[in-house]
Amino acid sequence: MRQLFVLSFVLLCSTFAFSQKHTFSIEGEHFMLDGKPFIIRSGEMHYPRVPPEHWRDRFRKAKAMGLNTITTYIFWNLHEPQPGKFDFSGNLDIVRFAKIAQEEGLFLIIRPGPYVCTEWDFGGIPAWLLRTKDIKIRTKDPRFLAASDLYMKEVGRRLVPLEIQNGGNIIMAQVENEYGSFGSDKEYMNAVKKSLVDAGFTVPFFTSDGPSDAMLNGGTLPDVLPVINFGWTQPPDAQFATLEKFRPGIPRMVGEYYTGWFDHWGEKHHTVDIEPVAKAIDHMLGEGISFNLYMFHGGWSFGYMAGANYSSTVPYQPDTSDYDYDGVLDAAGRTTAKYRALRDVIKKHFPNERFPDVRDETKFISIPAFRLNSSAGLFDAVRMLGTSRRAENVMPMEDLGQNYGFVLYRHRFAADANGTLEFKEQHDYSHIFLNHKLVGKLDRGLGEQTFRIAAKKGDVLEVLVENMGRLNYGNAFPFDRKGITEKVLLNGSDVKDWEIVSLPFDNLSRLRFSKNDASTAVFFRGSFFLKEVGDTFLDMRNWGKGHVWVNGHHLGRFWRIGPQQSLYLPAGWLKKGSNSIVVLDLEHKGDRRISASPEILYGN
């Protein structure tokens, strides 16, 4: 009980003493804060997935729950959208994120990559690296390491001043991420560690891997603390027995304790019972084990940022924009039954610690149904928004200098064409047109790479390929280029002579709308009036498959197959008075109405 009191006292004091410099270290089997044993009670929350106006609210809920630390990845592809051009502003202001956490009495653990996984496009690695045909991602390829080093120096320039010994709240930094699930190249791992050191980081480093001998052997370094990742289906004692055998005499920590799971399009929404999660946290606290709840607050993968997976039976599994994860807070940051249960568990183990009151301060609004009266046709949009080039052969999106969005491939047949078109390969979802008429669709997730065609001389084939998110996990992910990646065959012979149109759809300002009900309409525009702003969710159940922009902000993807049936619209992207909305729907069924409410909608 005396040790419990000391720990509680240290944690309580940390809330009020952040104006002073502290020390954090690893000594034997303990994390040490100011020379005293310290149990890390962390929750994962990613700044790009949560609107900045809500960061403080989420941090206060973490503190009220009994957490003392926030853990976040750092997203290379967002911070360096083009080579050498860096962005740490607005929703990407990691310095502001760290400082607000510190103001709320929370330490910060950073996971800067370069690879982060997290169901994020290309695992957070910039897609522009794939413009180099033979580059080897996540290896000691000097081209990859040089780019990674430049990025890491930019991260260090901003965050090293916020390390704990400098008066900030950053206590640890992760080297790479779950590398043991990918490879075992120690030279590469040491190069990533050196990149962190060269960037100026001096806080303790750690690696994070699955709790198996193979993953620990592949993903760790002898002079870096290993922590392990597992979830509600795996008893903690067995996992830590594996870690103890691998490296005894170190602090025990679960770097990602899975409170839920993520969703792929076409699946059921994942939920996890509260009891096994609460029981595991109760047990670990009783054993003095540190943890990081993944996710404490999942939030939303806005824009094109949701990634994808694959399996031995399914070639491609795109992730939803919704990253609720059945976390401790829901996708809109509201407390859940899981939150309350875990708060009770933590309070039981730290009876002398002060737990602030829990407050749900976020304002939510409803928007009555309104109609999107204006529209624009697909091929009008291609003409207005596209950048075209001629090429003998098809080429992937990355070779066009494009990272996200769509590519249209256009070919005029010089002779009658009857038979099988085979794509090597279309990534990821294609709408096929003949003379502007939709004649078919191909879904990579269903393994669809061929199409039967009957065309006449002079007919025009157009294939609109959507990038549904790059793979973010597994040994295949470094090669996941988008568009038509190699070639197109007709009855086994190469189809030559293409017009290729780049369509990132990142700026719709040049798109012209009309009141005409064109049968080829895919862009729909409307407006709605607000007397007050607040968070809400657009109800997309009457729509087909596409994307939504509100006041120019890209909310993410929707798709009738679910499970996600709504899109999160944060208050910071709304304004009093008139607001504009544009919906791109490639599989529209005729209903142009849309509404919004505080409810998150799931279903298939």
Residue 2 above 60 pLDDT?
A: no
- In whole angstroms, give the CA distance from residue 366 to residue 34: 48
Whether residue 54 contacts residue 570, with contact meaning beta carbons closer than 8 Å, is answered with: yes
Tens digits of residue pLDDT in 228-254: 999 999 999 999 999 999 999 999 999
256 is catalytic: yes
The secondary element (H helix, E strand) that includes residue 451 is strand 450-455
pTM: 0.95
Residue 516 above 90 pLDDT?
A: no
367-374+507-597 fold: Jelly Rolls (2.60.120)
Residue 9 above 50 pLDDT?
A: no
Residue 10 above 70 pLDDT?
A: no
Dihedrals φ, ψ of 520, to 5°? Answer: -95, 10
Per-residue confidence (pLDDT) for residue 590, from 0 to 100: 85
Could you tell me the two tokens for 366? 């409803």
**How do the domains of the chain map onto residue ranges?**
2-261+268-349, 367-374+507-597, 393-496
Catalytic residue among 154, 178, 353, 425: 178
Residue 80 — pLDDT band, cuts 50, 70, 90? very high
Choose among 265, 279, 198: nearest CA to 562: 265
163 is catalytic: no
Residue 18 above 60 pLDDT?
A: no
Could you tell me the two tokens for 174? 């992760």
The 3-state DSSP class for residue 256 equals strand
Residue 520 above 90 pLDDT?
A: no
Residue 67 — pLDDT band, cuts 50, 70, 90? very high
Class of domain 2-261+268-349 as given by CATH: alpha beta
Residue 554 above 50 pLDDT?
A: yes
- In whole angstroms, give the CA distance from residue 83 to residue 56: 32
Tens digits of residue pLDDT in 153-176: 999 999 999 999 999 999 999 999
Q: Residue 202: how many CB atoms within 10 A of its CB?
A: 13
Catalytic residue among 80, 104, 256, 425: 256
The 3-state DSSP class for residue 432 equals strand
Residue 3 above 70 pLDDT?
A: no
Per-residue confidence (pLDDT) for residue 519, from 0 to 100: 65
- Average predicted confidence (pLDDT) for the chain: 95
Tens digits of residue pLDDT in 243-297: 999 999 999 999 999 999 999 999 999 999 999 999 999 999 999 999 999 999 9
Tens digits of residue pLDDT in 109-119: 999 999 999 99
Class of domain 393-496 as given by CATH: mainly beta
pLDDT, average across residues 298-313: 97
Residue 19 — pLDDT band, cuts 50, 70, 90? low
> What is the CB-side half-sphere exposure of residue 127 using CA atoms within 13 A?
27
Residue 137 — pLDDT band, cuts 50, 70, 90? very high
Residue 604 — pLDDT band, cuts 50, 70, 90? confident
Instruction: Tell me if domain 2-261+268-349 and domain 367-374+507-597 are identical in fold.
Output: no
